[in-house]
Chains A and B, each alone.
Chain A
Amino acid sequence: MNQFWLVRAGSFVLAFAFAFALDAAFGGGGYAQRLVMLAALWVTLAVSLNLINGITGQFSMGHAGFYAVGAYTAAILTTLNPALAEQNKLAWLLLMIPTGALVGAIAGFVVGVPSLRLRGDYLAIVTLGFGEIVRIVAQNINIKTPKGDVGGAYGFTLDVKLTAVWVAWMLAIAVIAICRNLLRTAHGLAFLAVREDEVAALAMGVNVTRTKVTAFVIGSAMAGAAGAILALFEGRASPDMFTMDQSFIVVTMVVLGGTGSITGSVLAALLLFYLPEKTRELSNMPISSVAGLFIGIGVAVSLARMIQQRYHGPVAQRIGLNFGAIGAGVVTMAVIGFVLQQVPAIAAQPLVAGAKLRMVVFAIVLIVLMLLRPQGVLGHHEFSWDWVRRTLFRKPAEVPA
């Protein structure tokens, strides 16, 4: 065995070990399992959209459409062949994943070939339209089959249901690996070249149309595969699982992570998925505290931005100043909260429900991140310790002569 196959076998073992460890830790069912399942699917969606939006630079907003295509494919096939699916659920799931991917890829090809001639905003509108068409078609078409109804506004339930945390995470890992491999070869550089400058890429002999369509088809196939897992996990398929919101959230994940950065997409997907879930337990707060919180965050962010723009001293000092900004925010929050609480009319208001604050917190995190790091958490970079070191301890810009 040569070195390559040893490394390859090692990474497979590691990937399986990781996936099975997650399965063992969270696979017991209930809320924890649901979260870790959905996290894998969101990571898959974000990384696959990053291939289209971030790496190839084609602004697609219809990713939920391809997710839906994969899910409906798996759901319909399962409804039509319940006995076969029941026989060996895992084998059925493993069969449905490539099937969902294939149908997703076909949908990607059909949508991609005509619409990838468009650029920027126009492509965004067309793909957004596609996502809505898929959802509306699923909502309005209800086919009666001998095995049960398929489609419809309320969706349909499957007789077979299977949750396999390790399968979902293996898909996520595979999707990450494919994108990472691609970026390390000359083929991947051609994708990046298309993002950077189509005219120059053409002049270098890159077949721009084929590259775009390839990215679109692969990205859609990945979303389709994720959809197949979702359908069997939820045990149903319904139009409300694939709304425009879903497409927007995936786009937000890609942009927030830093367009083109695979690790950025993974981090942002986990952050944006877990944040609204973890904030479900927010306690009820008096309205004065909420006001104090908002103003405090405003103060901290404006100070942090000022430091970012005006101060270019050593790292330790910058970190210190940022902590100062956070401190100022906390003090402002406490003072304003306290002062407002003294006003009888405000103190008499009912508490604000924590559940209602949840999405507000989500929005605030997005706004703060975009204000302080508009290029995304990782910018165009990939996460590596070397990158952290260089970013933190950057010497004053050296331009070689």
Chain B
Amino acid sequence: MSLLALDEATIKFGGLTAVNAVSFRIQPGELFGLIGPNGAGKTTCFNLITGVYRPTSGCIKFGDRDIQGSPPNLIASLGIARTFQNIRLFKSLSVLENVVVGGYLRHKSSFWSAVNFFPSAIRDTERLRSEAMDLLRVLNLAHVADARSADLSYGMQRRLEIARAMATQPKLLLLDEPAAGMNPQEKEELNGMVQRIRDEFGLTVLLIEHDMRFVMSLCERIVVLDAGREIAQGPPAEIRSNPKVIAAYLGEAV
């Protein structure tokens, strides 16, 4: 059974159909790419999956559960985590605290014990902090754990977004342009990092990316959107030579 299935997912904003009957299925453990020219509806697709928007019609299934229209925090608790295209860190919190918030879903102590600062709450917070520290090591951010997240370099902020999303211990990780603004070397590192995360944590990854070399070398299957419609689906080699995809990116031959 597929982990995530979009079935004719559609959303209209007034007269604009941002995502038009898009369907794809992601198998567990897959590295899946979502590409398309600017304005194709990729991020809107993410927003549909994560519950920011409710689809006008169509169906989104996570495992065997319908999730369209569920609130984002519920969807996060089911095991879908995401990063944001325009970085949305908790700016004035430290790097470590950002990741602890990601682990918030896994806290066990009650609000009452937090307010009373009972040992259970202290232990629980300590546990989340040490788990967060482990994740920072995986993403090579441990040395800046106490820095304010807004003070990090752009590439580090992107990695911190991934660490924060991973802290929710998701089954499906959505990465929205993770390599944007990175230099070639950083992209290379990120490529290895995403593969390692997938292998070590057994995650399924769905990513949006504009850098074709990055997507083609990383993803096992790709779906291409153009103007809200799905125009191609398949492994990278097929996508690269698909005339519809070339037309969408470069325009039709005259």
Question: Which residues of A does B touch, CB under 8 Å?
Answer: 4, 177-178, 181-182, 184-190, 192-193, 196-197, 199-208, 214, 380, 399-400
Contact = CB atoms under 8 A, between A and B. Distances in A.
Nearest to A218: B115
10 contacts: A181-B117, A184-B117, A185-B117, A186-B104, A186-B107, A203-B50, A204-B164, A205-B105, A206-B101, A208-B73
Contacts of A400: 143-144, 147
B76 A380 contact: no
Interface stretch (B14-22, B87-95, B182-190): B87-95
B237 interface: no
B3 interface: no
A187 B122 CA distance: 11
A190 B71 contact: no
Given A186-B125, A204-B81, 10 more contacts: A181-B115, A182-B115, A185-B109, A187-B114, A196-B91, A197-B91, A200-B84, A202-B73, A208-B73, A399-B151
Main secondary structure of the interface of A (DSSP, over half): helix
Given A182-B114, A200-B84, A205-B76, A189 B104 contact: yes
Given A181-B114, A182-B114, A196-B91, A205 B122 contact: no
Contacts of A200: 84, 88-90
B123 to A, nearest CB: 10
Contacts of B91: 196-197
Given A181-B115, A185-B124, A190-B101, A197 B77 contact: no
Interface string B112-130: 0011111101101100100
Interface string B139-178: 0000110010001010000000000110110000000000
B58 interface: no
A294 to B, nearest CB: 36
Contacts of A190: 101, 104
Per CB-CB distance, the 8 closest pairs between chain A and chain B, nearest first, are A205-B76, A196-B90, A181-B117, A205-B105, A202-B72, A200-B88, A187-B114, A185-B114
B215 to A, nearest CB: 23
Contacts of A182: 114-115
B111 interface: yes
A229 to B, nearest CB: 21
A223 to B, nearest CB: 17
Contacts of B128: 186
Given A185-B109, A185-B125, A205 B104 contact: yes
A177 B88 CA distance: 31
Interface size class of B (residues with CB under 8 A): 35 or more
Interface of B: 50, 52, 71-73, 76-77, 81-82, 84, 88-93, 97, 100-105, 107, 109, 111, 114-119, 121-122, 124-125, 128, 143-144, 147, 151, 153, 164-165, 167-168
Contacts of B114: 181-182, 185-188
A203 B82 contact: yes
Contacts of A208: 73
Contacts of B77: 205
Contact of A197 (B89, B104, B107): B89
A193 B167 CA distance: 15
Contact of B76 (A177, A178, A202): A202
Contacts of B82: 203
A201 B91 CA distance: 12
A196 B98 CA distance: 10
B125 A204 contact: no
Given A186-B124, A192-B93, A199 B52 contact: yes
Contact of A193 (B101, B107, B115): B101
A199 B71 CA distance: 11
B212 to A, nearest CB: 27
A192 B88 CA distance: 14
A178 B115 contact: yes
Given A181-B115, A185-B114, A186-B125, A197 B90 contact: yes
A400 B95 CA distance: 13
B99 to A, nearest CB: 10
A185 B117 CA distance: 8
A199 B164 CA distance: 14
Contacts of A188: 114
B102 to A, nearest CB: 5
Contacts of A206: 73, 101, 104
A202 B165 CA distance: 12
Contact of B102 (A184, A204, A207, A214): A204
Given A178-B115, A188-B114, A204 B93 contact: no
Contacts of A214: 111
Contacts of A181: 114-117, 121
B149 to A, nearest CB: 9
Contact of A187 (B105, B111, B143): B111
Nearest to B46: A203
B71 A202 contact: yes
A193 B90 contact: yes
Nearest to A178: B115
